[in-house]
Every structure is written in C-alpha cells, then in structure tokens.
Amino acid sequence: MHIAILGGGLMGTASAFFLLTHPKAPRSLKVTLIDRGAIGAAATVASFGNVRRQGRDFRQMALAHHSLALWIRLETLLGSDIEFRATGHVRAVFHQEALKDMQNFASAALQHGLEIELLDQIEMQRRFPFLSKDAIAGSFSPQDGSGNPRLVAPAFARAAVRHGLVLRDHTQVVSVRPTPSGFRIEVPDEVIEADLLLNTAGAWGGQVAGWLGESAPLTAYAPQMGVTEPLEHRILPVVGVWARKAEEVIYCRQVERGNIVFGGGPREDLTLVPGHAKVNPHRTLRQLEVLTHLIPALRHTTVIRTWSGCEGYVDDMLPVIGPSSRHDGLFHAFGFCGHGFQLGPGVGAEMAELMLTGTSLTDTNPFHIGRFQNSATGD
C-alpha cells in the first residue's frame, strides 16, 4: 500500500508518523509526503504555539482532549523535546459581555469533559499579579499550555523518516488526478502513483480539493506575531482574553529563555500567490497597546522580531476532516482557522485510524467536506 500526503505542516507530518507507527499498518506500507517548501514553514511555524482547549468549539472538544493526551507523550514518542509545557492557560475579562461569555462557556464545558476555574477580580490579582487591575474576572484551565511551533513539525518528520517516510520537501505538485487504482501525483521530476491520498495542504487545501472535484469555502489570512527581548521570568501560564471584538484579542506566553511571544488582533488578507505575508507595522503597534493594557509591566519592553504566515479559514469556522465525498481513498485534513496547533497530534492519529481501519477515534462527522456539497445543492 502506498499513501501520498500533500502538505508538510503539523497535520501532514503527524499523519505520516501515526500512519507508519500504527499497529495495523501493513508491512508493505509506503508513505510519501510532498511539500512545496520546507517542512512546517507555512501555518505551523507562524503559529503562536497555543495548546489550549479553553474557548474551543465544543464540536472539537473530544479531538482536543485526545490531542492533549498525545502532546503530553510527544517527547517520548518522537525522541525530541518539542517544548510542550502544561503551564496552564488564563484568560482575563475586561467587559461585562465577555464575562457572560466566559460563564456560559465554563458551564457548558463541564458536559464536554473540560473543567475550568472561574476567578473573581481579587483572585485574579492574587494568583496572577502581573495582569492589569482592570481585569474584572478570569478563567484558568490548568492542563492547557504551549509548544514550540518551530520544533514540532520537523520532529514529527524526523521520527517518521526513521520509520520509513519518503520525504519530498521543496517539491511543487504539478497535478493530481484520480485513477482506477488510486491517484496520480505529478511532480517536476517524476509521477507518483498512490493507493490513498491525504490532503493536508493547509491554506492550499481547498485548491487541492478543487483539483479533485470537491469544494470548501476557504480563505487565506495572515496572522501576526511578535517576540520581545528576554525578560525576568514572571509569566508562567499562557495568557489570553475573553473578548468579542477582534481588536481587543491578545495572547502571550513567556518562553523559558525569557522572551514574551505575543499575537492577536484582526488578521491580514492574503493571496495564495506568493502565499506568504509581510508584517503590518501599524498592526504591531496596536497589538502592543492591547498587550500592555493586559500586562502593564511590558510597557517599556523592546520587540526584537515580528513575523507572519498563511492560515486557511473555512467560512463556518470548522475544519475539514475525514474522507472525500467523491473519491474512495481520498482524505482531507485542512482549514483549521488558526486553531489547529493544539489539534495537530490528534488529527494525525485520527487520520491514521481512518485511513488504515475505516473507523474514527472521535466524532469527525461535523467536519466532513460533504457539508458544503449538500448546501450547494440545496439538500
């Protein structure tokens, strides 16, 4: 059996690893991963690195729980420290409408296996004194945390290569088409014949699906991140806010080297050609305004680097995960709307299970690409 994977970000590399290490993988299994650039160099490397379940769509919660269990084991599984740290995740509230959102989420989360601590203003100041005194409340999810986006996809790829992965990075796909026995993928120097095909092409996932006669309303946007100079280590958890307006969204974390990584706010429009974005300096200034309101002690901190990337957003803000609605042997995992980093290991394990056994570890029906075909035909 030969499986081809298009896209070498976290979803693609995790899927490759779990396919090759699955207990039901046939001895003859060959997996080829193809990416137009370097491994993990698009959405994954541009990620903030949040490994959080707090605030997540409940339809993704079972997958998020499974993924967290894998994050905890990744250093052992991959033989590499990808800097996952379960530091906890705190979200501050500054407005009454956001307070209601937090309370409603916390109440419903219990039904989905997530227990978060609700903190009043006094408790927020006692436990997190670095936060603004303007925060009227907050919530804390103790098992959430963060990982290093620059390390995780390459670590999955290296581990998969040790198990036999054929890695074709910096390789442009010329065409993909179905055949009676599977799929034919043309790259500049050869034609690859595969029995099964997995589309983990990120912001290009809709384009790949379109080549094979399927559609998903996917738009590319550019997140914007920054990092400060190293500072005295005072911020242990990942920090975010409950907010309804994109302009008020900010999140940050302090890495072990002391730097503060931050992101948030409205995303920039982006075209898939060339497929990478430039940082908007005005957006960085706005991020710093919101960041220093959240953590006043950062007011005189120096930003030493900023960056952006390319993320795929589906119109209904849910990813596309699961088998094709048109072709046997075709599977999709793309369009994670900027929230895919935490889900990556779980998605990889899920795709391996689906492709090798035909069963799923969690309920992926809400994410099936057929939901768009049905709406397009009025069914």
- Hey, what amino acid is at 245? K
Q: How confident is the model at residue 377 (pLDDT cuts 50, 70, 90)?
A: very low
- Hey, what amino acid is at 293? H
CA distance 315 to 213: 19
**What is the pLDDT averaged over residues 282-307?**
96
CA distance 231 to 245: 29
pLDDT tens sequence across 34-44 = 999 999 888 88
**What is the pLDDT averaged over residues 147-174?**
97
Domain residue spans in the chain?
2-49+149-218+315-377, 89-142+224-308
**Is the peptide bond preceding residue 274 cis, with omega within 30 degrees of 0?**
yes
**Alpha carbon 29 to its chain's center:** 27
- 89-142+224-308: in CATH 3.90.78.10: no
**What is the pLDDT averaged over residues 169-187?**
96
pLDDT tens sequence across 216-268 = 999 999 999 999 999 998 899 999 999 999 999 999 999 999 999 999 999 88
* CATH number attached to the domain at 2-49+149-218+315-377: 3.50.50.60
pTM for the structure as a whole: 0.95
pLDDT tens sequence across 189-207 = 999 999 999 999 999 999 9
**pLDDT at site 236:** 94
Write phi, then psi, for 162 (nearest 5 degrees). Answer: -60, -25
CA distance 321 to 366: 9
